[in-house]
Structure 1
Amino acid sequence: MSKDETTTAADAPKKSKKMLMIIVIAAVVLLGGGGAGAFFMLKGDKAEAAPVKGSVVALEEAMTINLADGHYLKLNFSLQQTADAGSESVDTSEARELAIDEYTGKTLAELSTEKGREELKAELTSKIVKAYTEDGKKMVMGLYFTSFVTQ
């Protein structure tokens, strides 16, 4: 056997051990990085617990709101309070003002489709929930239209 053949045969196991070591290290790094990434992504996506429904507070009187082009909207709704609000009813004055601001000047076409009404209701609900959140506690979680008449 020549000297070249013995060195090549002796180098082969060293190369395969190095290659195996590289593959193992790469797998550990990839799996560890993937696991850590999944952990932090899932940890950040913790859903906030849905508030528990409390009492419902109805506005005493319907509102008449001026729309565009001489039309008007007769609107009344109730606020769904959370259990965090306690047994005392929230003051509905701010909700009335937000509703007037939201609907004033809207066109009859915007309010005549179900999609339009739902979009405006979602915007109003968001504003009301934000307005009735105190110290991180939501006092109101939604609203229900009890009257919605356009002319």
Structure 2
Amino acid sequence: MAPIEQRVISSPKIGGKIGGGGGSSKPEPTPEPPAEKSKKKLLLIIGGVVVLLAVGAAWFFLMGPGKASSATDTPAAEPAPVPGVVLAVEPVSINLADGHYLRIGLGLQLTADAGEETPDPSVALDLAISLFSGRTVAEVSDPAQRDALKAELATELSEAYEGKVMDVYLTNYVTQ
């Protein structure tokens, strides 16, 4: 608690007597100590700390460390697909820039759960033609660029075949 400061005024009021005699002047009321404001601040701080402790305790007991996550908390990671058969796609010639061409053959790595029905290879050829056509010989001949194009094709094939194709192999790759 802060010390209380009191002030004494020695000058007389206007029209009052000089010298401090007589009892007609009333003493000034002392200002109310700031204890009320301090108590309010203290209660506010204590209330905030209590709320934070309650929230922290609720988190610790409901979701804290060491709790086994249930199926509703996080979705289980999909298991990696099991490889099935490889579907060979006949090579096709694709027009490149400046009158050159690329002869490309594909092998589609199907998943084991793709079923007995063989997917239509024309979808794979269409995606390959769209991805490779119009590129320069330098682009398709660079090993790093070729790997990037192959990875992009594998992603597009997985989406197009709804997860039945897990990878793609280049079985024929000739530029001229």
Q: List structure 1 segments (4+ residues) > 6 angstroms apart after TM superposition.
A: 16-21
Which secondary structure state, in structure 1, belongs to the residue aligned with residue 113 of structure 2? Answer: helix
Counterpart check, 1:80 vs 2:109: yes
Compare relative contact order (CA 8 Å, sep 6+) and give the higher one, 1 or 2.
1
> Who is 1:91 aligned against?
120
- CA distance in 2: counterparts of 1:19 and 1:99, whole angstroms: 66
- CA distance in 1: counterparts of 2:64 and 2:112, whole angstroms: 36
Counterpart check, 1:23 vs 2:49: yes
Which of the numbers 155, 159, 162 marks the counterpart of 1:130?
A: 159
Which secondary structure state, in structure 1, belongs to the residue aligned with residue 87 of structure 2? Answer: strand
> Who is 2:81 aligned against?
51
> Who is 2:144 aligned against?
115
Structure 2: any 5+ residue segments left out of the alignment?
A: 1-41
Which of the numbers 99, 116, 122 marks the counterpart of 1:70?
A: 99
For residues 18-76 of structure 1, what are the alpha-carbon distances to aligned partners after superposition, in whole Å with 9 as ceiling and x for unaligned?
9777535413424645875997xx945643322221111111x2111110011111111
Which of the numbers 148, 152, 167 marks the counterpart of 1:142?
A: 167
Deviation at 1:143, TM superposition (A): 0.6
Which secondary structure state, in structure 1, belongs to the residue aligned with residue 49 of structure 2? Answer: helix
Deviation at 1:100, TM superposition (A): 1.1
When the two structures are superposed, what TM-score results if normalisation uses the length of structure 1? 0.69
8 A Cα contact 1:54 1:86, kept in partner? no
1:67 alignment partner AA: L
| Worse-matched range after superposition: 97-106 or 114-123 | 114-123
- CA distance in 2: counterparts of 1:106 and 1:31, whole angstroms: 60
Relative to structure 1, is the Cα distance of residues 103 and 23 closer, same or farther in structure 2, using a 3 angstrom cutoff? same
Which secondary structure state, in structure 1, belongs to the residue aligned with residue 118 of structure 2? Answer: coil
Which secondary structure state, in structure 2, belongs to the residue aligned with residue 62 of structure 1? Answer: strand
8 A Cα contact 1:132 1:140, kept in partner? yes
| CA RMSD across the alignment | 3.7
Higher share in helix: 1
> Who is 2:132 aligned against?
103
Structure 1: any 5+ residue segments left out of the alignment?
A: 1-15
Rg larger in structure:
2
